[in-house]
Amino acid sequence: MQSYEAAIYAALLLVVVAVSIATPRFLSPDNLFEVARNFSFIAAAGVGEAIVIIGGGGGIDLSVGSVMGLGGVVATKLLGMNLGLLPVLGLGVAAGWACGATNGLLVTKAKMTPLIPTLGVLSIAHGLALVITQGYPLSSLGPASPAFIALGAGYVGPVPNPVVYMALVVLVGWAVLTHTPFGYDLYSVGGNDEASHLSGIRVTRVRLAAYMISGALAALTGILLAARLSVGDATTGQGEELNVIAAAVIGGVSLLGGQGSVLGLFAGAALIGVLLNAMVLTGVPAFWQEVVIGSTIIVAVLLDRLRIRLARD
């Protein structure tokens, strides 16, 4: 696990060096913060995704992109109804949490394969966001509008707020997974749910919590994204689940569960961010971006399989 993380950071460094040789502009502080801000949303939502995947049992959350959109839409809609910033944040996150709870209950209680309920919730969350916005972007954000927009567009010193937010989420996620009983339970459940159950770990509860965390984090991240764009739009976050899952898998989070870390996920998100930025800087048409991301996922999963095979021998 440690060695794979080291390899990912080495790969990240390699790509950064290559890109900065190809386009020296890459290393300018402005561009670096721009890159970090762009992948901050992937990394933050990715922490929840990683928690779901590490919990095992085929766990995956396909709904994160739509839930990001729903979170942003719920928040901006409520702002437009003149609610204050804190209740808006709370209710927006609650909407995501409810999506996560739905996913988690369908997976753990109804024993559905995680792909199915999370695909359903992907559609439901997007549909609800469309119902709320009626298809139009929400841009009249009421009296709390300046505070809200500052949340996503502001800076702490030279650092954009979303980057600060990502750093906090990654740090807290790392601490929870590596230092708390919940984190230990999660890796146990992901490694062997039967053994965990026999040892008194409440497998169902741990996995349910994982989906709830993923939903809530996705919504919070979506709210930040809406704040940065200063508009609530149902299409925001659409397709983002692909980047989020890619970041986790590239970062060494095994789809078989029980393996991977938040720090690895962070490196995976950074790698995607740097690759996307490099394509922009080198003038690769934007249409190719999805091709590159998709290919990177497949390579990462192949490496994951290879790693498992090597570990067995």
Partner 1 sequence: MTSAVVEMRAIEKHFGAVHALRGVDLDLLPGEVLGLVGDNAAGKSTLMKVLSGAISPDGGQILFRGAPVRFTSPAEARVRGIEMVYQDFALCNNLDIAQNIFLGRWPVRAGVLVDRRAMHRAAEAMLERLRIDVPSVTVQVRHLSGGRRQSVAIARALSFNPAVLILDEPTANLSPGATHEVLRLVADLKQHGVGVILISHRLQEVFAIGDRVAVLKQGRRVATRRVRDATEDEILELIVTGGRAAPANSDRPLDAGGGLESPVGG
Residues that bind partner 1 (CB under 8 A): 179-181, 183-185, 187-188, 190-192, 194-196, 198-201, 258-259, 311
Q: Least distance from C-beta 277 to partner 1, angstroms?
A: 34
Q: Which residue has the tokens 């003149």?
A: 82
Separation between Cα atoms, residue 35 and residue 17, nearest integer Å: 15
Q: Least distance from C-beta 108 to partner 1, angstroms?
A: 17
Q: Least distance from C-beta 197 to partner 1, angstroms?
A: 9
Q: Least distance from C-beta 192 to partner 1, angstroms?
A: 4
Q: Is the CB of 157 or the CB of 181 nearer to partner 1?
A: 181
Q: Is the CB of 81 or the CB of 198 nearer to partner 1?
A: 198
Q: Is the CB of 94 or the CB of 205 nearer to partner 1?
A: 205
Q: Least distance from C-beta 32 to partner 1, angstroms?
A: 34
Q: Is the CB of 286 or the CB of 312 nearer to partner 1?
A: 312
Q: Is the CB of 162 or the CB of 260 nearer to partner 1?
A: 260
The answer to whether the beta carbons of residues 52 and 59 sit under 8 Å apart is: yes
Q: Is the CB of 259 or the CB of 296 nearer to partner 1?
A: 259
Q: Least distance from C-beta 57 to partner 1, angstroms?
A: 14
